[in-house]
Structure 1
């Protein structure tokens, strides 16, 4: 990896980060496709411009990214070529250093993501019926809090 520390994503990274997101959607049989590419691209541009997105890069460009607004983690994706290298953990560790508490919603059907977040110290807090996401699929809210702040 050319950058061990996540860096703020730039607008020129948006097409590659959108490709990471769309690739995940294609590989996930349980995830319905509900948005056109242009919508995902516009959203990625908006949140990147707002400074919510941090990324880790390899020689081919963005390999992983996280979108976070305050305590709310909106997205965390790792390109298949970089999975298993600790990039997701590094992005979460960076977010944990920036916020004493993090929350996110994860698809109930996404067992791998749920296990990953649990291994990173997140706990399941409540269940959603899908009305809070574009796909309309059941989801779980997961929370993490810095132990030093919980005392």
Structure 2
């Protein structure tokens, strides 16, 4: 994850729409995105979701109804949402949010393909935490 590219547009305004469950962002280059909370949650840049390397990603399910209960600024380059399921370790940089906005159709397709490959339903509850061998590689 590279640092902030100086060419990355910066958000001019960010609105959390709790009812429709989208994060609306207007960027300095004029782009406007409505990024679903679910997409942010399943593509959270945290280690809990991304794992500790390629192929280590943890497929997230049951997040269709997830909300954002808080959105904290991180420096001048990112925001850290607290999701209604308690997940709060993802730090979303401006360039990552821009990437989610631009690529969301492809990301949804990729997510659906990963669900199918794993044979799980999008709305299946996440397995209970436990038995995750994070420290034993």
> Do both share a fold (TM > 0.5)?
no
> Could you tell me the TM-score, scaled by structure 1's length?
0.29
More helix per residue: 1
More strand per residue: 1
